[in-house]
Amino acid sequence: MLSEQTRTIIKATVPVLEKQGTQITKCFYGHMLTEHEELLNIFNRTNQKIGAQPTALATTVLAAAKHIDNLAALLPHVEQIGHKHRALQILPEHYPIVGKYLLIAIKEVLGDVATPEIITAWGEAYQEIADVFISVEAKMYKEAAWPGWKQFEVVGKDKVAEDIYEFTVKPTGDSGVDLAKLPIIPGQYITVNSHPVRQDNKYDALRHYSICSADTTNGLKFAVKLQTSTNNPDGLVSEFLHKDVKVGDVLKLSAPAGDFAVNKDLINQNDIPLVLLSSGVGVTPIVSMLEAQVKENPSRPIVWIQSAYNEPHVAFKNHVDNLLKQAKDAKKVVVLTDSQPRIDDKFLKENVPAHADVYICGSLNFMQSMIDHFQVLEHKNDMIHYEPFGPKMSTVKV
């Protein structure tokens, strides 16, 4: 339990964190990843480069400072981050390393403002926050479908859009994983641990990919969009999976993770419509939700909104059409951004019922714009659920 004096000091740093938080976290990552190069086998270098990860960490630190009197208020954020940590196999022994370099960064960026009292207070606060994360993640590790990384054979590789492949994988015989007993929640993701021999890469590269279907009868399915790149890590893993991986190859996966899921209490009722809104490869977890809803209760009203660059980029088109045919009350809207205006609040007002339960997935920019549009429409916050392809905390306002 933190002392009153420590909590007072932490709260007094909130204005500084609001102004210089991202500068602190960029400094933090710079020092830590330089002096602990082995951590580059875990951290996504693309998110570092575009600033999403430093922004996400800065938001997390600011949220902790604002809620230092009641860290329990952070639990939803802790759990969301915890799923990512468990999927990446971040362990308790990593937390002291993070704490060390966070304090170094605070001292370096703030200079004389970072008095010994402030550094001591943040050291104590960090340990308290780390203990919360470690406790939450310990439960997730215990409940995971399998421990660590397991080998899966690629048994299918199918093109579902101009730039998207759907991979079907099955556990190898010595993995100990039984697909028949594998609990999949529509909306979850798996994590691929690869070591692409591209772009002079020296490190393992870990990436999260959404699961396409909760039905594992023929294997576990996930989709990957090709991110083209030139001498940067943006497309490192997607290029490897699209161009190098073939049927019969073996990939290492960690167990399904994530808290993006349809509200179970609403699946079997028909008064509150389900709205599924996606952009690009963000359709992947959304189509698994559609599949589950239609299977469980095809009578619930459904609004399907899918944004893509053009017709060849509309992923899972035939599969989605077949699923929507099974629904008794379904509306489908496809927005092709090469020839139509992008989705805005006017479009959402016309197509999304005011009392609907909404699920959104897409790029960080798409997610932020959708969140902003729904705020303009004053749609109830607890009826808006989203999963960006990138650190979610970078889209959160605290």
**273: helix, coil or strand?**
coil
Beta strands in 309-370 (DSSP E): 330-336, 357-362
Buried b (16+ CB within 10 A) or exposed e, 337-372: eeeeeebebebbeebbeeebbbbbbbbbebbebbbe
DSSP class of residue 396 equals -
Phi-psi category of residue 30: left, alpha or beta, with phi > 0 → left and psi -120 to 50 → alpha? alpha
CA-to-CA distance for 203 and 237, rounded, in angstroms? 11
Taking alpha carbons only, the member of 275, 262, 272, 277 closest to residue 360 is: 277
CA-to-CA distance for 307 and 362, rounded, in angstroms? 9
Q: How many CB atoms lie within 10 A of CB 57?
A: 23
Catalytic residue list contains 95: yes
Phi-psi category of residue 249: left, alpha or beta, with phi > 0 → left and psi -120 to 50 → alpha? beta
Both structure tokens of 378: 């004053």
Q: Which of 29, 101, 126, 137 is labelled catalytic?
A: 137
Q: Are 332 and 324 in contact (CB under 8 A)?
A: yes
Q: Which residues are catalytic?
A: 95, 137
